[in-house]
Amino acid sequence: MNRVIVFIKQVPDTAELKIDPTTNTMIREGVPSIINPFDMYAIEEGIRIKEKWGDTEVVVVTMGPPQAETALREALSLGCDRAILLSDKKFAASDTYATSYILSCAVKKIGDYDVLITGKQASDGDTAQVGPGIASWLNIPSITYIRKIDEIRAGYAKVERMRNDGFDIIEVTGKFLMTVLKELNEPRIPSFRGKMAAKKAEIPIWSAEYLEADDGKIGFLGSPTRVVRAFSPPPKKGGIKVEGEDEETVNGLYNFLSENKML
């Protein structure tokens, strides 16, 4: 049997986030939670790979507080086969370094696998570091920003990675991790039977001890990142607009560029 592991994150369903002024971290209480929208494409792709390959198990994993179980049940209702919740007070305040370490420990516990999938980034932290971080801990290749999969089978894939100026076609052999973009697929609607089965599914909770995680690499103490200050970046200025007749605008632009020593 083949295995695909999808990592998801439960995030607050709103842009109205409050920051705790003392720790400079987000206050999550009282905000409705959803699956990180980018992770929906990861779930969908995991299920599509299973449908393509047959005899494949899709395992969905998240790290979070006990209520993150809701996100896992939603993933199950869409067609993932089983879910694992990584939850332990010791995981609190983990940064991307510690989080990717914890997730990689879970992969080792799950056992063999063919492909790991995450969304391109989480909508709350926006770091895009956890996916590649997991690959790094596991010492496997990671391919980020996948917009299209040309071919995928156990041990081989040919994919397209989005760039600012086009895309790369990448071939990879062996196990690998991919982070995916919304261009890759259109997430499905859950089925009624899927939803009912997901309600009843048993979701194991794995602790730091069970994962045999190194205490020095998890939680606040295991996290090298320190948030010094959080602030809203100033909005981008509008730039200048050169208006008028053709000659006027050409001269205006020329003068602007030369005055600013850009020519």
Cβ closest to other proteins, residue 125 vs residue 190: 190
Determine, following the binding rule CB under 8 A, whether residue 13 of this chain makes contact with other proteins. Answer: no
Q: Minimum Å distance from CB 244 to other proteins?
A: 36
Determine, following the binding rule CB under 8 A, whether residue 24 of this chain makes contact with other proteins. Answer: no
Burial class (CB in 10 A: 0-12, 13-18, 19+), 211: buried
Reading the block at residue 223, the tokens are 């996290």
User: DSSP readout, 63-131?
Assistant: ES-GGGHHHHHHHHHHT-SEEEEE--GGGTT--HHHHHHHHHHHHHHH---SEEEEESS-TTT----HH
Determine, following the binding rule CB under 8 A, whether residue 190 of this chain makes contact with other proteins. Answer: yes
Distance between first and last Cα of the chain: 62
Determine, following the binding rule CB under 8 A, whether residue 192 of this chain makes contact with other proteins. Answer: yes
Please identify, among the stretches 25-33, 123-131, 182-190, 213-221, the one whose residues bind other proteins according to the rule CB under 8 A.
182-190
Nearest C-alpha neighbor of 205 from the set 83, 65, 110, 85: 85
Burial class (CB in 10 A: 0-12, 13-18, 19+), 170: middle
Cβ closest to other proteins, residue 147 vs residue 195: 195
Determine, following the binding rule CB under 8 A, whether residue 191 of this chain makes contact with other proteins. Answer: yes
Determine, following the binding rule CB under 8 A, whether residue 189 of this chain makes contact with other proteins. Answer: yes
> Residue 153: what are its φ and ψ, rounded to 5°?
-145, 165
Task: Count Cα neighbours of 227 within 13 Å in the Cβ-side half-sphere.
Answer: 17
Nearest C-alpha neighbor of 75 from the set 104, 33, 42: 42
Q: Minimum Å distance from CB 128 to other proteins?
A: 26
Q: Minimum Å distance from CB 74 to other proteins?
A: 12
Determine, following the binding rule CB under 8 A, whether residue 196 of this chain makes contact with other proteins. Answer: yes
Q: Minimum Å distance from CB 109 to other proteins?
A: 32
Cβ closest to other proteins, residue 3 vs residue 48: 48
Please identify, among the stretches 21-29, 154-162, 187-195, 227-235, the one whose residues bind other proteins according to the rule CB under 8 A.
187-195
Reading the block at residue 103, the tokens are 């997730």
Determine, following the binding rule CB under 8 A, whether residue 193 of this chain makes contact with other proteins. Answer: yes
Cβ closest to other proteins, residue 82 vs residue 195: 195
134 CB-near residues (< 8 Å, 6+ apart): 7, 100, 103, 104, 107, 116, 118, 142, 177
Determine, following the binding rule CB under 8 A, whether residue 188 of this chain makes contact with other proteins. Answer: yes
Q: Minimum Å distance from CB 17 to other proteins?
A: 25
Residue among 158, 195, 210, 252 that touches other proteins (CB under 8 A) = 195
Q: Which positions touch other proteins (CB under 8 A)?
A: 188-196, 199
